[in-house]
Structure 1
Amino acid sequence: MAVNIKAGIVGGAGYAGGELLRLLLLHPNVELAFVQSRSQAGKPVYAAHPDMLGETELVFTAEAAIPVDVLFLCAGHGEAAKFLSENQVAAETKIIDLSQDFRWNEGTATANVEADSRSFVYGLPELQREQIRQAQHIANPGCFATGIQLALLPLAQQNLLTSEVHVSGITGSTGAGQSLSATSHFSWRTENVSTYKVMEHQHLREIKRSLLSLQPEDQPAIHFIPYRGPFARGIFITAYLQSELSLEEAQALYKEYYAEHPFTIVSDQNPDLKQVVNTNRCVLYLQKHGNMLVITSLIDNLLKGAAGQAVQNMNLMFGLEETTGLKLKAAAF
């Protein structure tokens, strides 16, 4: 029997909310009940997302039209916890939060929302797909966190993170959100590169927590330098560490780990960012230079790093095929 899911989006005017809107409108098992945005309330969704012209006549609502089967929170960091503290959400409604508000409290009552008793499962399917299937509430991972974890999970599972890990990653401007800032203006961003949050990016917290769940002892330091890139979307990560594995052994380890995970692909050829942009895929590429294992990890920050992964989690929670509504074409040209 076909599964019919009534869904709602809180915070649908931003980049992640817009991507989620597009995915859910085309999902064969979803009826999109409402898209909430206080800043755009009363306007058609194509006013904020012009590519939706002719696709839908939905209008942004000022309030969330609860109840629904699944509620996506795209309201930004701090706003998701605030929303749940101020609104009655039925116990049977599944929640997928795309902010960082609940990422560090998986398996426990959340401390972020006053008088709230919900427990959020960390929603990285390649780490804990079975827990997601049983979950009522999901904390969707961060974009850099997703790419870096997928680069390191196979090693952690075999207790092979035995030396310090050095990571650099460059992200598109959409990773900064839709609100304007000095570093998101076109005139500053184009033909320009800069670092930010060097060695203290907030995603390190969830990365370390996940790796500890696989390799609880002798956790090495992770040194991360993020870059702002002169392009709109995508994340290109390079991680390297000392390893006694040969290249062939490392490739076999990674291919075995991800054999049952449809969106993570281990490539034998050096990949480029266009292979993943506009898809829910992560592409990994391994190299060995002397005793250094180098792992390249590529994702689309708005899809596998946000909205696409949220839909992937929804599919798992409702017993659907994991790839439903997510067979997307890469922007090859």
Structure 2
Amino acid sequence: MVNNSEKIRAGIVGGAGYTGGELLRILVHHPKVDITFVHSNSNAGNPVSDVHTDLLGDTDLVFSDHLSDDIDVLFLCVGHGDAKKFLDANTVADKIKIIDLSQDFRLQKNAELAGRKFVYGLPELNRQSIAEADNIANPGCFATCIQLALLPLAAKGLLKGELHINATTGSTGAGQSLSATSHFSWRNNNLSIYKAFGHQHLNEIGESIKQLQPGFTEAVNFIPQRGDFTRGILAAVYLDSDLTGEEAIALYEKYYAGHPFTHVSRKNIDLKQVVNTNKALLHVEKHGGKLFIISIIDNLLKGASGQAVQNMNLLFGLDEREGLKLKAGGF
């Protein structure tokens, strides 16, 4: 908890990447946060605005290669596998809360390291546990988008039969390091499928489903796609259901009624409604015996850094929306 007159002192490790940049864009304007340091081995000594050029005029922060214990919360915006390596190599005082944006601590079998227990940071699933936690494992972007489409059904034990999911993500989902499939000349005017039926986020999706519906053992068929756009995820989900369309919509509206960022739309939805925001939008339809759910988020915000700040707000007893009243691009 923080008093109204106090500010949360934040440190960021891995501040030069996509998630680190998005986190900086939020926190430099967050009324309850002071950024103590932004760590980057490759950019130490350089102004943050040299890397994140849109922050010129917003901050005079300089990248550091030193860490400080004079903080309340540490954000780990590092690659998968690197968060655990960082914590193995560096001593972080027990008083400092950690929010990890990698996948290192998301699964129950990996959720503890050197006495630190990590809580899975999906507020629509674990809000109370997050508020009482010291360390958060921020969910994956695909996992966030897909779980939001399934949680209301799982909470009532209504997932039946196999689940079918097709989801498309923008190029920022691949991280900032260049690869053959993130290069402009390959990605532009192109569409491809990758890791069909075997994406790493399936494991955390499965754990969350079983948290709410322990008896669910059916297949989750997930086809991820790389889209020809920069940011956002659209997931299309369908399954067998005995609910009527109105019953399903009412179920979703009731489940998300107390969650400020997740909304159910009775009209069809599109990515531009959520890009550059921390919102998730859902649209539910019934087609014969199938229930069809569309779920959309910004992969860098609700799917990463925005959700990390949402979790920080919960950890420190702030309004969940603090610093996250962000605006969609529209056009």
101-110 vs 284-293, which moves further: 101-110
Q: Does 1:268 align with 2:278?
A: no
Aligned to 1:104: 107
Aligned to 2:306: 308
The amino acid of 1:14's aligned partner reads G
Within the candidate set 279, 283, 307, 2:281 is matched to 283
The alignment's C-alpha RMSD in Å is 1.0
Unaligned runs of 5+ in 2: none
Aligned to 2:51: 48
User: How high is the sequence identity, in percent, across the aligned residues?
Assistant: 62
The amino acid of 1:305's aligned partner reads G
Kept in 1: contact 2:248–2:284 (CA 8 A)? yes
Unaligned runs of 5+ in 1: 111-115
Kept in 1: contact 2:209–2:216 (CA 8 A)? no
Q: Does 1:19 align with 2:17?
A: no
Q: TM-score, normalised by structure 2?
A: 0.98
Displacement of 1:106 after TM fit? 7.3
Displacement of 1:39 after TM fit? 1.1
Q: Does 1:160 align with 2:158?
A: yes
- How big is each residue's C-alpha offset from its partner over 1:95-135, in whole Å with a ceiling of 9 and x where there is no partner? 0000000001379533xxxxx12110000000010000000
Aligned to 1:298: 296
The amino acid of 2:92's aligned partner reads V
Aligned to 1:227: 225
Give the number of aligned pairs: 328
SS of equivalent residue, structure 1 residue 164: strand
Q: Does 1:7 align with 2:5?
A: no
Kept in 2: contact 1:193–1:229 (CA 8 A)? yes
Q: TM-score, normalised by structure 1?
A: 0.97
Distance 1:60 1:230 in 2: 32
Distance 1:108 1:44 in 2: 35
Aligned to 1:243: 241
Aligned to 1:324: 322
The amino acid of 1:295's aligned partner reads I
- How big is each residue's C-alpha offset from its partner over 1:119-178, in whole Å with a ceiling of 9 and x where there is no partner? 100000000100000000000000000000000000000000011000000000000000
| Residue 30 to residue 106, structure 1, CA distance change in 2 (3 Å) | farther
Displacement of 1:319 after TM fit? 0.2
Aligned counterparts, 1:118-197, within 5 A: 118-197=116-195
Distance 1:218 1:101 in 2: 25
Kept in 1: contact 2:210–2:216 (CA 8 A)? no
Within the candidate set 193, 196, 199, 2:197 is matched to 199
Distance 1:122 1:264 in 2: 18
SS of equivalent residue, structure 1 residue 119: strand
Displacement of 1:63 after TM fit? 2.5
Displacement of 1:179 after TM fit? 0.1
- How big is each residue's C-alpha offset from its partner over 1:205-244, in whole Å with a ceiling of 9 and x where there is no partner? 0000011000001332100000000100000100000100
Displacement of 1:50 after TM fit? 0.5
- How big is each residue's C-alpha offset from its partner over 1:254-285, in whole Å with a ceiling of 9 and x where there is no partner? 00000000000000100110000000000000
Displacement of 1:65 after TM fit? 2.3
Kept in 2: contact 1:316–1:322 (CA 8 A)? yes
Displacement of 1:62 after TM fit? 1.1
Kept in 2: contact 1:195–1:225 (CA 8 A)? yes
Distance 1:106 1:286 in 2: 34
Distance 2:44 2:121 in 1: 30
SS of equivalent residue, structure 2 residue 247: helix
Within the candidate set 70, 75, 88, 1:72 is matched to 75
Distance 1:218 1:239 in 2: 17
